[in-house]
Amino acid sequence: MSNYNYAYHVDIVTKRYFHGVDNYDMNLILDCFHDDAVLKEMTSNTVHEGKDKIKDMFVGLFAAHTRIWHGNFVHTVDVREHAICSQFSVEVTAKDSGELTRYENCNRFYLQDGRFTRVFVYMSGSNLLK
């Protein structure tokens, strides 16, 4: 049995990854990923392979928004398979227009040795992760 229990899976997703995103903390975000991790936005089939490409994606997201918030989480954790599915609400405020956009999204995270190897993002609106 892995040392990565239910609480660990929820913690890496909420208190590390999404906390990092909401607070524009690139180091905290990237520490959640293996160097060769893949993040795929499924709705538009956008793929970011490797930590450097994932970083570039977040640089663009941060540059386009003055506020990012994730909350209202519902998690399903498979400790044996080292995976967590997280359903959540998102609010983003566009830097150029000040417009607030809301999403209801779902991410599937796969972990190895306590970090993300693959992340699949399902968005309810247009792709913010280009």
Complete domains list, the chain, with CATH? 6-122 (3.10.450.50)
pLDDT tens per residue across span 67-104: 999 999 999 999 999 999 999 999 999 999 999 999 99
Asked if pLDDT for residue 115 goes beyond 80, the answer is: yes
Joined together, the tokens standing for residue 16 give 């590390």
Which H helix or E strand runs over 49? strand 46-49
* Tens digits of residue pLDDT in 42-74: 988 999 999 999 999 999 999 999 999 999 999
Count of CB atoms situated within 10 Å of the CB of 101: 14
Q: In the prediction, which pLDDT does 130 show?
A: 75
pLDDT at 1: 44
Q: For the chain, what is the mean pLDDT? A: 95
Structure confidence at residue 2 as a pLDDT band (50, 70, 90): low
